[in-house]
Amino acid sequence: MHVRHAILASLLGCTVVACQGPAAAPAAQPAAEPAKVAEPAKAAEPAKPEEKVAVAEKHEAEEGCIYADAHKKEGDEADCPHGGAEGTPNSGEPNHFGAAFALKEAKPLGPILAAGKDALPKDAVQVSGTVDSVCQKKGCWMVMKDGDQEARILMKDHGFTVPMDTKGKPVVVEGTIEARTFTEAQVKHLEKDAGKDPAAASGERTEYVLTASGVKIQNS
């Protein structure tokens, strides 16, 4: 009896297995992505130098230049250029600087200035005296004395200069005379040009100024 049951159970098991068919294959796993090849590292770019904007150099005008107006008329940005060679005499006339004299005879400077600023001649004059000091940067001005009177000699339009080693020499100058007030900045500039301490100067200064078209320095 038991044997029959066992046989039947075995047959039923085979039938069930046959009906179920073959076992389903396991689901296919997605194919693994190919490994990415690492890109070669880019070489670090060299640091760019800081860009600099080119700025045209501009000569700044010197504060207090006594010739500023003359250079502005000429369109020169450098109001008071200094340096370079000293004054060169006119060819054929030693010790004469600037234009040739138009007047025939020189008068002493002292009496003209002693008469006062209201009596100054309106026209050009030719005067004589002694060189008391000279601009020590280029010779672009000098102070002329006659007795106890003195005048500062400026070269017309800053057009010429005189030697810087002429102190004490007799001089004849042709030009126009006026009383002129220099600003404190101009006074300091003049003191610096003379080789003095500009810090020691303060306030405005009024002087007699002779704007020279020509200068003749004697050998003494």
pLDDT tens readout for residues 7-27: 545 554 544 444 444 455 555
Higher pLDDT, 61 or 172: 172
pLDDT digits (tens, 9 = 90+) for 106-129: 999 999 999 999 999 999 999 999
Element (H, E) at 66: none
**pTM for the full predicted model:** 0.65
For the four alpha carbons of 94, 98, 103 and 109, in that order, the dihedral sign comes to negative
Domain boundaries, the chain: 68-217
Nearest CA among 84, 71, 77 for reference residue 57: 77
Question: What's the chain's average pLDDT?
Answer: 77
DSSP reduced 3-state for 177: strand
pLDDT band at 72 (very low <50, low <70, confident <90, very high): low
pLDDT band at 181 (very low <50, low <70, confident <90, very high): very high
Of 89-103, 142-156, 183-197, give the lowest mean pLDDT range. Answer: 89-103
Find residue 152's DSSP bridge partners: 143, 209
Q: Which residues, including other chains, have CB under 8 Å from residue 172's CB and lie 6 or more apart?
A: 101, 106, 126, 127, 128, 215, 216, 218
Q: What is the pLDDT of residue 8?
A: 47
Residue 86 pLDDT > 80: no
Q: What is the pLDDT of residue 172?
A: 98
Q: What is the pLDDT of residue 129?
A: 98
Residue 213 pLDDT > 90: yes
> Taking a C-beta distance cutoff of 8 angstroms, is the pair 82, 140 a contact?
yes
Q: What is the pLDDT of residue 39?
A: 60
How is domain 68-217 classified at the CATH fold level? OB fold (Dihydrolipoamide Acetyltransferase, E2P) (2.40.50)
Query: What is the arithmetic mean of pLDDT over 46-53?
Result: 43
Higher pLDDT, 81 or 121: 121
